[in-house]
Structure 1
Amino acid sequence: MRLLFICLVLSLFCCNYASAQSVRKTESFDANWKFMLGDDSLAKQPAFNDGKWRTLDLPHDWSIEGSFDEKNPTTQGEGGLPAGIGWYRKTFNVPSSAKDKNVFIDFDGVYRNSEVWINGHYFGKRPNGYISFSYDLTPYLNFGDRDNVIAVKVDNGDQPNSRWYSGSGIYRNVWLTTVNKTCFTKWGTFVTTPQISNNQASVHISTTIRPEGKGLSLKTTIYNEKGEAVTSNFSPLKNSSDTTLASAYNLTIKNPQFWSTDHPYLYKISLQIMQGSRVLDNITVNTGIRSFEFDAQKGFSLNGVHMKIKGVCMHHDLGALGATVNTQAIERQLQILKDMGCNAIRTSHNPPAPEFLDLCDKMGFLVMDEAFDMWAKKKTKHDYHEDWAQWHKRDLEDQILRDRNHPSVFIWSIGNEIREQFDSTGISIARELVRIVKNIDNTRPVTSALSESNPHKNFIYQSGALDLVGLNYHQEVYADFPKNYPGQKFIATETMSALETRGFYDTPTDTTRHWPQSSKVPFKQSNSEFAVTAYDNVAAYWGSTHEETWKVIKKYDFLSGLFIWTGFDYIGEPTPYPWPARSSYFGIADLAGFPKDVYYMYQSEWTNKPVLHLFPHWNWKPGQLVDVWAYYSQADEVELFLNGRSLGVKAKQGDELHINWKVKFEPGTLKIVSRKNGKIVLTQEIHTAGLPAKIELSADRKSINADGQDLSFVTVKVLDASGNIVPDADNLVDFKITGPAQITGTDNGSQISMESFKANHSKAFHGMCLLIAQAKKIGGTAIIYAQAKGLQPASLVLNVK
């Protein structure tokens, strides 16, 4: 009998759990859309014949599929890829069982000016290309075997409208949600942790519900990472005729695990609307228990522990994938930055994809979540200033509501280098925007990235609305910040703008150069390769080298930290060069994700791991005097050898971040050894490379999921016969994949390459290029082949699960 009773209880539990899982059905709505590039006003009609249109899966960016051309209206600053107008259509069925439910479509982001129709009914227009939005399809749906047709027009034709590559299309995910009439409202749940100690944490939950019927109650359970329930609450809800019903309550977690950048511990909160024993709706919210503080004297602390914010700015493009959102591609970028020691990201200059914030929660990154690049005053002819008056309040509210439950988000930014900072309109607008944010979330500080560093001249600062003073560049004033901004809290919202091309070196390195020298001095091209030396001694006139600003930031406690411009190269803004430069030089990693040399300076400063990095390559003219640099950490000294001869022992002095030698080139081996307490920590050798002889392939992931989206990033190297990378190799490498995977992108990190990112080939750039393989929706073994004229080919096996 006891066994029978246990089985009965388990059966009831499983039934309730299954019911809870199935009452709200959210499914990907990305598959099998029809797409046409161009405009046809009849495409919104359900009976329109789209049989000749291309079939594709979302997310989709049509600009990245195009050809680079300086005549494209997007301009060089946006990368020189095409834009225009495109249409998407999808035919689908809704089961009869959904007749008594609500059906919503959610768009994570469409660039830009999206207009949506369902069965000929017009929902409206959302101009902002970075904002998430949804529509209630319910009143206009056909149920059962009758078709429904959704049509989306995307208009990115008015150019220019951005200062960097935006992409075009439904470039983020789309979701279809079916839910009971009684349900949680979208983004209506807010979780905060008002009181935290080592012994317990108070979790405050407020939520809004669309009620239909009586006898409703709310059940809340918090689970730890092991899936164990740690606390719960059951509250009857008052009967009401209102269209929405609000509820707020507190739960307590004993001996909480804190969320931090080193230990990003997440709790899962399950909320259920109950009517008796029946579950009407359920949602899950992830949360992290953490506290943080900005202090005018002590800087930043997380969970009571002082730390520097070691951040980078990131645009939204994913290199060869363009603006097309892909979770694995975002995770790869974040992991590369995490390995460097980065602990924070600024989403410059727009709301990010939801997947990005989910990953930052999971991986342990603090996020400065930014809203706007301009307000009412324009930066480009057709940018968001045209929509500001009608849409800024709605767009900002939607951003804060969507993102406020992410523990990674710790700063809201209302703008970047806004032109209203230079006149009195900045006062009223800044106050309005901060008020909008605070009405929704008053738990995080609000800042704006200010390019005017003089507090007496900056009207956004003069508004008094900002919780945190964010300065872009002007590192020369940082040391005097307490004097110029008495009692204020500091964050360097954008810094450096140092310039490098991976693998390119010129000497001498004894002086710092500014390219261009100023906005009034035309830049004179320095080399035919449109390259910038990878030694850290070139920066744009408004910025600095990496070492210059980091030395200041690390020196003073009141400087809470910085965000470097930028973590990765991105498409567009190719300072300082004219066309054919079409991508930036600012990144610590290049567009393909290959680290530049300065990456290892940050790794030596921002991590506790032993680091030793020697550069440049060792292929030069006989007798040429070469500047040899090294970054190192966890060691007392380093010793350099050339063909077995010691060139001396050196150690960093004072605030030095690297050491260097001037070495007369002779072919052979350059070797460096780091030591601590006389014992060897690390060694590195660089060999003079011979002629290109073979190809080497290495994948970041040799096993991927057969979901049609998962990726493997394959690094391609051109080696000599002895296995050394050939630093000047530019061989054209052809690719082929057999089996259940396909080529979705190729790149080499060159800022001037005119090759299509969707080509099945790529020229090596300084001996390297990248292939991105995407899984199909079937499992099996995929084989990647790479070949080039005169080189030994290579292959790699990929398991598609």
Structure 2
Amino acid sequence: MAVISFNDGWVCRAPLGPFAAGGEGAPAVPVRLPHDALRDAQRSPEAPSGGAGAYYPPGAFTYLKSFTVPAEWEGRVARLEVQGAFRRAQVFCNDEFAGNRADGYARFFVDLTPYLRHGRENVLRIEVRSGQDSRWYSGAGLHRPVLLHVDAPVHVVPDGVRVSTLRLEEDQAVVEVATTVANAGLSTRTAVLSTTVTGPDGRQVEREDTPVTLAPGERSLLRQRLYLQDAALWSPDQPSLHTARVGLGGDPLTDVLVTFGVRTVTVDPRKGLRINGDPVLLRGACVHHDNGPLGAAAVGRAEERRVELLKAAGFNAIRAAHNPLSPAMLDACDRLGVLVVDEAFDVWTRFKTPYDYAADFPQWWAADLEAMVAKDHNHPSVVMYSIGNEIVEVGTAHGARLARTMAEHVRTLDPTRLVTNGVNMLLAVLDDLPAVLEPDGGLNEAMASMDDAFSTIGASEAATRRTTESSAALDVLGLNYAESRYAKDRELFPHRVIVGSETFPSKIGTLWPLVLQNPNVIGDFTWTGWDYLGEVGIGATAYAEDPQAVAALEREYPYLTAWCGDLDITGWRRPISYYREIVFGLRTEPYIAVLRPQHHDHTVTMQSPWAWSDSVSSWTWPGHEGAPVTVEVYADADEVALLLDGTELTRAAVGAQRPVIATSETVYRPGELAAVAYRGGREVGRTCLSTARGPARLVVTVDRERLRADDADLAFASIELRDAAGRLITGDDRPVTVQVDGAAVLAGMCSADPGTAARFDACTWTTFDGRALAVLRPTRAGRVGVTVTCGALEPVTLALTAEEIPAQR
């Protein structure tokens, strides 16, 4: 099998289609895939998507690519692999309809063979459309890679190699390689299927050769059982990877390479989740699919960076929200040892937005589950498949029928993994909500707070009754905001295993102890690990003194992000991230967060359970000298003392208002603010913040100076305002401009500001809390020059190199 990257040479234009009004005259913009065509559209407060879609308009786009088909491809099979096209994609080859897909996240293949003109130029056209079809920013376009597969008549079919660990023994692992081969020719052929397995060190550890005879048009499944002596096992702590090279006919250029991990996954209500027999608790992050300044484009390095930073922040698991992850992100999870719950759907048959997937679900659900499993099967990081998120139908008898049908379909496709579903009990009883709440005081009382509503409804008898059947179809019941069931279900359903599939970030201090106390609960997934576009401002704080602020769950234009991630869209960790790390028991050093002093006496009109305190880890607040300020210190301790330049200001007990937090009131004065944590009267940790002083200077750091000159690599440039001693200046934000020359382009720029009208395609952004981010994308091999300027400050120049990397087989 020859697999060719098809990410270059495209143009994108609107409106939809060559025969639509004005279609031929619409400007065609050259693009490199993955690409989000909606990212650079003009946002507006009148956009139909509203805050859910980050005030982006609907869009329809046409992608065009011309390519020459060699004459020697005559008689071969050519398939286009589209890893993600949002949404309702239609694929045309030489103006002939070749295939389509409704779901914008499903990976699918289109057979181009009947439509190709050999020895001549060919034209691909892919049309997509987006608008009011998601509860978040979805983007639009070919947002994941596109590949071309060219095969000989006798070949391994796409996704045709599936590797499974059958059992682990003391001295060996037993692995099955199941390979589907096909004969697209006109005569019977006999070939030898050769499979070679290499270990993490690259040395061969097993081999098997199996002859196979195929009649014309026939497919055959070959199973090869291999025995790996003293195999290195894959686990989150040691993500050891093996490679299977599978070939037919001896031509290494047509071999299929599959990376896999040797590991087993089991679960039960007493011993929890175990990987290779070892217990694992899921410290989980829900993540949406967008990449901040890149929009929805799933460029490989951006996906990898997110996984790197999430793991560095203490997470060991990711839950896809609420659609299957990209292959690039799964590859990164495999390499870095992060577990995955891959999720198929946000809706089944009931709409959540006017034009969402519910219209397509009855026709496409089985094929889309098959596509997800085919994509995921060889990724050891994937431990669970989720068949849905907050599905209303799970509270009905016919919804339970559907849940069981879907769960069994997944098990037929892959019996080695667990099946879950993210159940929101409030939605499951939505049809008769008033009757459900009446015994508990009625709707108004239950809705006094969002948290109380979820707890009350989640623990109700009606929720138990209405979800028992659908939950029984699962290996693990995912509960969204229903920790009130953790202990309750140990008694009611002693064989039930639970995961907190979606939880309020502000409650992790009480949620994680519940996970530790209940062996039937295997982990917690916060909403969210990484901030995202859309559902704007659900984690922001609204103040009565702000005349622009709307006291509603979703905030007013120009809000852009949800502002509820542990990490913001630049990848910088917010205070909640360090709090969580301490709660997880992964950090012993205390952490200081200071509530923004400009809001000290303001009245909070909206702060949802998805919000954290409006705080920054900074002791630099110019213009607020002598003003009152609130200081939070996160510490696993009994009490915390605050010291300014060595003089104690105040002491506060830990846990008085929230677990693992001590809150103190003091006055802001420049200097060194230290927090000293005590347990039993003995110091157990300290940390400090120092005020930035003197003039600002630009500091720019890149995560890599040498890039691969391909379509998957990026360089991320962090831009900061610091003083001469290197202290971050958070109270004096300024516009910064980035210019890129040579073999790369500025692919996107942003700050973490959740409420900005700035554009990601702009080269100038104002810093937020002293920081901004620029993303560079190589266009060819060669030198890359980067210049960052900020008014009268000394500019910063960087020299990078994009290197041609030879293809590896």
Give the superposition deviation at 1:76.
1.5
Structure 2 counterpart of 1:226 = 201
1:733 aligns to 2:736 (yes or no): yes
1:594 aligns to 2:572 (yes or no): yes
1:166 aligns to 2:174 (yes or no): no
Structure 1 segment 295-334 matched on structure 2, within 5 A: 295-334=268-307
Structure 2 counterpart of 1:471 = 479
CA contact (8 A) 1:204 1:251 kept: yes
Deviations 1:187-229 (A, max 9, x none): 2322111111231111012221103533322211110012111
Structure 2 counterpart of 1:28 = 5
Deviations 1:507-559 (A, max 9, x none): xxxxxxxxxxxxxxxxxxxxxxxxxxxxxxxxxxxxx5332322322333332
Deviations 1:290-325 (A, max 9, x none): 122222123222222222110110000000101111
Structure 2 counterpart of 1:724 = 727
Alignment equivalent of 1:39, drawn from 12, 16, 25? 16
In the alignment, the residues of structure 1 paired with residue 232 and residue 640 of structure 2 have an alpha-carbon distance, to the nearest angstrom, of: 41
In the alignment, the residues of structure 2 paired with residue 799 and residue 240 of structure 1 have an alpha-carbon distance, to the nearest angstrom, of: 52
In the alignment, the residues of structure 2 paired with residue 270 and residue 697 of structure 1 have an alpha-carbon distance, to the nearest angstrom, of: 42
Alignment equivalent of 2:156, drawn from 175, 184, 191? 184
Structure 1 segment 365-444 matched on structure 2, within 5 A: 365-444=338-417
In the alignment, the residues of structure 2 paired with residue 437 and residue 91 of structure 1 have an alpha-carbon distance, to the nearest angstrom, of: 38
CA contact (8 A) 2:738 2:786 kept: no
In the alignment, the residues of structure 1 paired with residue 619 and residue 190 of structure 2 have an alpha-carbon distance, to the nearest angstrom, of: 77
Q: 1:293 to 1:591 in 2, by over 3 A?
A: same
1:149 aligns to 2:111 (yes or no): no
In the alignment, the residues of structure 1 paired with residue 468 and residue 484 of structure 2 have an alpha-carbon distance, to the nearest angstrom, of: 21
**TM-score under structure 1 normalisation?**
0.85
Structure 1 segment 213-612 matched on structure 2, within 5 A: 213-240=188-215, 243-274=218-249, 281-452=254-425, 453=458, 454=460, 455-459=463-467, 461-462=469-470, 464-496=472-504, 498=505, 544-574=506-536, 575=538, 576-580=553-557, 581-606=559-584, 608=586, 611-612=589-590
One-letter amino acid of the structure 2 residue matched with residue 615 of structure 1: A
Q: 1:690 to 1:118 in 2, by over 3 A?
A: same
Give the superposition deviation at 1:97.
1.6
Q: 1:269 to 1:679 in 2, by over 3 A?
A: farther
In the alignment, the residues of structure 2 paired with residue 217 and residue 50 of structure 1 have an alpha-carbon distance, to the nearest angstrom, of: 53
In the alignment, the residues of structure 1 paired with residue 796 and residue 396 of structure 2 have an alpha-carbon distance, to the nearest angstrom, of: 61
One-letter amino acid of the structure 1 residue matched with residue 123 of structure 2: V
Give the superposition deviation at 1:613.
2.3
The SS at the match of 1:85 is: strand
CA contact (8 A) 1:198 1:256 kept: no
Q: 1:487 to 1:736 in 2, by over 3 A?
A: same
Give the superposition deviation at 1:66.
1.7
In the alignment, the residues of structure 1 paired with residue 593 and residue 56 of structure 2 have an alpha-carbon distance, to the nearest angstrom, of: 34
In the alignment, the residues of structure 2 paired with residue 491 and residue 36 of structure 1 have an alpha-carbon distance, to the nearest angstrom, of: 44
**TM-score under structure 2 normalisation?**
0.84
CA contact (8 A) 1:426 1:459 kept: no
Structure 1 counterpart of 2:99 = 124
One-letter amino acid of the structure 2 residue matched with residue 643 of structure 1: D
Q: 1:792 to 1:457 in 2, by over 3 A?
A: farther
Give the superposition deviation at 1:658.
3.5
Q: 1:722 to 1:267 in 2, by over 3 A?
A: closer
Structure 1 counterpart of 2:612 = none
CA contact (8 A) 2:740 2:784 kept: no
Give the superposition deviation at 1:645.
1.4
Give the superposition deviation at 1:691.
6.9
CA contact (8 A) 1:421 1:460 kept: no
Deviations 1:386-423 (A, max 9, x none): 11121111111121122112111110100000010232
In the alignment, the residues of structure 1 paired with residue 276 and residue 681 of structure 2 have an alpha-carbon distance, to the nearest angstrom, of: 38
1:693 aligns to 2:671 (yes or no): no
Unmatched 5+ stretches in structure 1: 1-23, 499-543
Q: 1:572 to 1:784 in 2, by over 3 A?
A: same
Q: 1:279 to 1:181 in 2, by over 3 A?
A: farther
Structure 2 counterpart of 1:89 = 64
Q: 1:50 to 1:259 in 2, by over 3 A?
A: farther
CA contact (8 A) 1:340 1:607 kept: no
Structure 1 counterpart of 2:800 = 798
CA contact (8 A) 2:51 2:554 kept: no
CA contact (8 A) 1:472 1:495 kept: yes
State the identity as a percent.
31
In the alignment, the residues of structure 1 paired with residue 253 and residue 740 of structure 2 have an alpha-carbon distance, to the nearest angstrom, of: 48
One-letter amino acid of the structure 1 residue matched with residue 105 of structure 2: Y
In the alignment, the residues of structure 2 paired with residue 100 and residue 701 of structure 1 have an alpha-carbon distance, to the nearest angstrom, of: 44
The SS at the match of 2:717 is: strand
In the alignment, the residues of structure 2 paired with residue 50 and residue 147 of structure 1 have an alpha-carbon distance, to the nearest angstrom, of: 22
One-letter amino acid of the structure 1 residue matched with residue 84 of structure 2: G
In the alignment, the residues of structure 2 paired with residue 390 and residue 201 of structure 1 have an alpha-carbon distance, to the nearest angstrom, of: 40
In the alignment, the residues of structure 1 paired with residue 516 and residue 660 of structure 2 have an alpha-carbon distance, to the nearest angstrom, of: 12
Q: 1:41 to 1:622 in 2, by over 3 A?
A: closer
In the alignment, the residues of structure 1 paired with residue 560 and residue 627 of structure 2 have an alpha-carbon distance, to the nearest angstrom, of: 32
The SS at the match of 1:188 is: strand
One-letter amino acid of the structure 1 residue matched with residue 801 of structure 2: N
Give the superposition deviation at 1:55.
2.0
Q: 1:186 to 1:706 in 2, by over 3 A?
A: closer
Give the superposition deviation at 1:77.
0.3
Q: 1:637 to 1:198 in 2, by over 3 A?
A: farther
1:771 aligns to 2:774 (yes or no): yes
Unmatched 5+ stretches in structure 2: 426-457, 539-552, 595-617, 804-809
Deviations 1:679-730 (A, max 9, x none): 9997643223457632222222233223355222122222346543222222
In the alignment, the residues of structure 2 paired with residue 677 and residue 263 of structure 1 have an alpha-carbon distance, to the nearest angstrom, of: 37
One-letter amino acid of the structure 2 residue matched with residue 222 of structure 1: V
1:55 aligns to 2:27 (yes or no): no
The SS at the match of 1:438 is: helix
Aligned length: 722
Q: 1:28 to 1:273 in 2, by over 3 A?
A: same
The SS at the match of 1:202 is: strand
1:196 aligns to 2:177 (yes or no): no
In the alignment, the residues of structure 2 paired with residue 566 and residue 330 of structure 1 have an alpha-carbon distance, to the nearest angstrom, of: 16
Give the superposition deviation at 1:431.
1.5
Q: 1:797 to 1:419 in 2, by over 3 A?
A: same
Q: 1:55 to 1:625 in 2, by over 3 A?
A: closer
The SS at the match of 2:420 is: strand
Deviations 1:601-622 (A, max 9, x none): 2333446565442222224544
